[in-house]
Amino acid sequence: MLPFRTNIIIFIIEFLCTVLLQIVYGASVYGWEVAGMVAIGLLPVLLVSLISLNIDNESVVIRCLYISGIATFYYMSYALHTQGTLSFFFLALGVTMTLFIRPQVIVEYFGITTAILVYMVFSESKIIEEFFDRQLYVTFLTMYAFAGVTIFFVVNSVKRYQMEMEEKNEIAREALEAKSNFLANMSHEIRTPMNAIYGMAELLEERDFDKKEKEYIATIKRSSENLLSIINEILDFSKVEAGLMRIAAEPYQFNSMVQDVITIIEFRVKDKLIQLECNIDRNIPRELIGDEIRIKQILINILNNAVKFTNQGTVTLTINWRGGNVSVDHGEDLGVLCISVKDTGIGISEDDLTKLFTAFGQINTKKNRNVEGTGLGLAICKELTDAMGGVIRVDSVLKQGSTFYVELPQKVADPLPCNFIRDEDTIYMPTRDFQIDFIAPTAKVLIVDDNKVNRQVAWELMKLFGFEATLAESGEEAIDRVKKHLISYDLIFMDHMMPFMDGVEATQNIRQLPGEYARKVPIVALTANAINGVEQQFIDAGMNDYIAKPVKIEELQKLLQKWLPRHKQFPVGTSLEEIEDICNKQEERDWKRMSADMILEHLDGIDTDTGINNCAGSQSVYFEVLQTFATSNLANVLNMYFEKEDLENYSVTAHSIKGACKNIGAHDIADKAYSLERAGKRGDIAFIWDHHEEMVEEYTAMIKMLKKIFFGNL
């Protein structure tokens, strides 16, 4: 069905063509003077058409169009004495009305026009008989009525079909939404226990076990990773199928990308009688623009497939570059990565080649039952390749091997040759081959998760970094802890899917709490939901980052390094005594410690609770702000502009005093400064004369008090 505005344009064009025929007829029979009078009939429809383009109510627009059209045709037929042909013009207009697929409007239109034509049989009979015999006109009128009935049934059938299609589309949309919800729930339900299994295996890996027990632990981890890879393939395919897979276009280093792929595949072939050969064109540009992650995914999928179905022989990766032209729009050189993966495996029959890139399309499943996978890998490769504007194809001979060809258009960021050299010393290890490189014993971390096992796993993982996290089992408890602000947390891990209040809602509630601390404290989503789009949902809710379950120590370390305060991170091996000494010196450098209670007792006229909240809940930061406030006296500047009666700069200075006072909790002085600021903006010099001295006196007294507290003797 065409868009409504397009139908209006078609209606107007057809109407104009019909009217032009009338004008030409009038000019040829009666002359241009009469033709000009006929042309006046265009004005109502043109006016209505222009107005209709700005009206949202479609039914009103359609009725205005056909009523003005009927009036115009009647006027023209009267001016040209062609009333006998009016039924033909009405029929042409009626056919055009079918564009809008409104059965009720069709009934109205043909009812009105038929009544007009019947009326003309009696009122305009003499003029009609100049063209037709009365009986012939009645025949035309009868045919017109039948045409109206036919058009009504056609439009009504189309309308019913349209409604059926809309219902089916709605059912399909609901089915797609149900599938997405199912996949999200499946992802969450599987990843939640997998988090416990994988996390406990990670923790056990830290213990001192014998070789056999370490092999058991490694097997648990590998099995967990295999299961997760299957889940990820299903989820990836669902994203592609739903059109949610996004292709990025960012610069990446070609050598790094290819080396990552090769090291992963080298690990896959190390236990098989397979030689991995690489032929990489050294003239490929060293920096390209494209989706590095998706290109890796395509390469790894195809190479994995080759390794899976090859028991012995070779798997050969070849990558060449076919240069292109300079992009007119972007100015970058364009080219094509030409990739081929050749194996000496079992090959594929001609009949099975057609199934290769279809979903769940594992071929000859009886013979290949020992091969792991969902059968989605190549289907995903095909969709990703298409999304990048590339092509993928395969040549294969049964029992001799297969060759996959992929061509991916890429832009060039740096045209210098990559000079790729394979690093054969780099070995990919799926089990952990890294060491924790920092500890943070003074860190304050809150973990929010409704699952007891997940909380235990997270708590144990945090202990590896030298601190014990605080645990909360619900979003409500997390909000309460932040609201009471008994502890200033450096970082909050928030589970996504929790009963009663999920992590997104809990985060939104925390961000709405008063005080800068609630707005600034880093919150990281702990999510078992890998469906596309949830990442943006977390960011939109006010979260700072996210980490997927099962939590891997490598990823956790990167995240903690990113969000924990730098001064709380210490190299592994630093003793607690050294850390305590460093912290003490840090505090001494920040400001010479004195009794906090004593300071708070002497801050007369200041709402210290508000001031501390404005400093992210940190008392020490608040005291720093007070010291800065005490050394930035703006009273002299304000007095200078007062004496000069420079109201513009007076208002700016009063605004600064207001903001500074409000930050530390000096509400009374802030309000008085605000009143003076507004008076200056509206030019009310009398108000300033009456209130300036009082505000400056109180402001100066408060600064003297703060200087005495922080820099003098009590």
pLDDT at 646 over 80: yes
Which has the minimum average pLDDT: 202-211, 429-438, 543-552, 649-658?
429-438
Q: Is the pLDDT of residue 98 over 70?
A: yes
492: helix, strand or coil: strand
The arrangement of secondary structure in 250-417, i.e. its CATH architecture, is 2-Layer Sandwich (3.30)
Topology of the domain covering 438-571:
Rossmann fold (3.40.50)
Q: Which two tokens stand for residue 422?
A: 């394979």
Bigger pLDDT: 601 vs 651: 651
Give the confidence band of 424 by pLDDT, cuts at 50, 70, 90.
low
Q: Residue holding tokens 């006998």?
A: 84
Phi, psi dihedrals of residue 102, rounded to the nearest 5°: -125, 95
3-state helix, strand and coil shares in percent for the chain, rounded to the nearest 5: 60, 15, 25
What's the token pair of residue 671?
Answer: 């309000």
β-pairing, 438-439 vs 401-417, is unpaired
Q: What residue has token string 């009310």? A: 684
Average of pLDDT values for 486-512? 86
On whether the CB atoms of residues 432 and 206 are closer than 8 A, the answer is no
Q: Is 366 a residue whose pLDDT tops 50?
A: no
Torsion angle, alpha carbons of 230, 231, 233, 236, to 10: 180
**91-129: string of b/e by CB count within 10 Å (b at 16+)?**
bbbbebbbbbbbbebbbbbbeebbebbeebeeebeeebe
pLDDT digits (tens, 9 = 90+) for 237-283: 566 655 556 777 889 999 888 887 887 788 778 778 888 899 999 89
Checking if the pLDDT of 300 tops 80, the result is yes
Q: Tens digits of per-residue pLDDT, 461-490?
A: 888 888 888 899 898 999 988 887 767 889
Give the integer Cα–Cα distance in Å for 218 and 215: 5
Region 177-183 average pLDDT:
67
Residue closest to 541 by CA, chosen among 602, 625, 607, 475: 475
Which tokens go with 149? 């009935």
Whether 445 and 492 have beta carbons less than 8 Å apart is answered as yes
Residue 673 host element (H or E): helix 667-682
Q: What is the distance between the alpha carbons of residues 16 and 109, in angstroms, rounded to a whole number?
A: 19
**Does 584 score more than 80 pLDDT?**
no
pLDDT given at position 422: 76
Q: Identify which has the larger pLDDT, 581 or 442.
A: 442
Which stretches of 206-291 are DSSP H helices? 211-241, 254-269
pLDDT at position 49 over 60: yes
Helix (H, G, I), strand (E, B) or coil at 494: strand
CA distance 288 to 258: 12
Tens-digit pLDDT profile for residues 525-573: 887 665 555 677 788 888 998 887 778 888 888 899 999 988 888 888 7
- Report how far residue 524's alpha carbon sits from residue 542's, in angstroms, rounded to the nearest whole number: 10
pLDDT at 340: 93
**What is the DSSP code (8-state) at residue 501?**
S
Task: Kindly tell me if the per-residue pLDDT of 430 is higher than 70.
Answer: no
Residue 254, C-beta contacts closer than 8 angstroms, at least 6 positions apart: 284, 285, 286, 287, 288, 418, 420
Query: What pLDDT digit, counting tens, does each position of 146-156 carry?
Result: 888 888 888 88
Q: What's the CA gap between 492 and 481, in Å, rounded?
A: 11
Short-list 354, 340, 381, 353, CA closest to 236:
381
Top pLDDT among 696 and 353 is at 696
Residue 319: both structure tokens together:
């990558």
Q: Which residues contact 468 (CB under 8 A, 6 or more apart)?
A: 459, 462
CB atoms within 10 A of CB 442: 19
pLDDT value of residue 218: 73
CA–CA distance, 415 with 284 (Å, rounded to integer): 8
Q: How far apart are CA 448 and CA 433, in angstroms?
A: 29
Q: What top-level class would CATH report for the domain 596-711?
A: mainly alpha
Please, which residues bridge with residue 37 across strands?
none
250-417 and 438-571, same CATH topology: no
Between CA 564 and CA 576 the distance in angstroms is 18
Whole-number Å distance between alpha carbons of 317 and 196: 38
Most confident of 67-71, 75-79, 247-251, 400-404: 400-404
| Dihedral over Cα of 301, 307, 310, 313: its sign | positive
pLDDT computed for residue 408 by the predictor: 93
Distance from chain centroid for Cα 325:
32
Residue 347, both tokens: 């090959």
DSSP string computed for 332-375: -EEEEEEEEEEE-SS---HHHHTTTTSTT--SSTTTTTTS-S-S
CA separation for the pair 663, 197 (Å, rounded): 48
pLDDT at position 409 is 93
Cα angle for residues 627, 629, 632 (degrees, 5° grid):
115
Q: Among candidates 637, 647, 572, 604, which has minimal Cα distance to 206?
A: 572
Assign 365 a pLDDT band (cuts: 50, 70, 90).
very low
What spatial distance separates the first Cα and last Cα of the chain, rounded to whole Å? 84
Cα–Cα distance, 35 to 46 (Å, whole number): 17
3-state secondary structure at position 246: coil
Identify which of 533, 536, 473, 532 has the alpha carbon closest to the alpha carbon of residue 506.
Answer: 473
109-167: pLDDT as tens digits: 888 888 888 887 777 777 777 666 767 777 777 888 888 888 888 888 888 888 888 88
| pLDDT score recorded for residue 320 | 93
446 in Cβ contact with 469 (< 8 Å): yes
Average pLDDT of the chain is 79
Structure tokens at 183: 């996949």
- Which is more confidently placed, 29 or 318? 318
CA distance 226 to 217: 14
Question: Helices 58-80 and 32-39 meet at what angle, rounded to 10?
Answer: 160
DSSP string, 395-439: EEETTTEEEEEEEEEEEEEEEEE------TT----SS------EE
- Which residues, in sequence order, are bridge partners of residue 377? none
Predicted pLDDT at 222: 67
Question: What are the residue ranges spanned by the domains of the chain?
Answer: 4-132, 250-417, 438-571, 596-711
Q: Are 191 and 550 in contact (CB under 8 A)?
A: yes
The CA distance from 571 to 451, in Å, is: 32
- Percent of all residues in the chain with a pLDDT value above 70, rounded to a whole number: 81
- Percent over 90 (pLDDT), the chain: 10
Tens digits of residue pLDDT in 2-13 = 677 777 777 777
- Residue 411's pLDDT is 92
pLDDT in tens, 310-351: 888 999 999 999 886 544 444 457 899 999 999 998 888 877
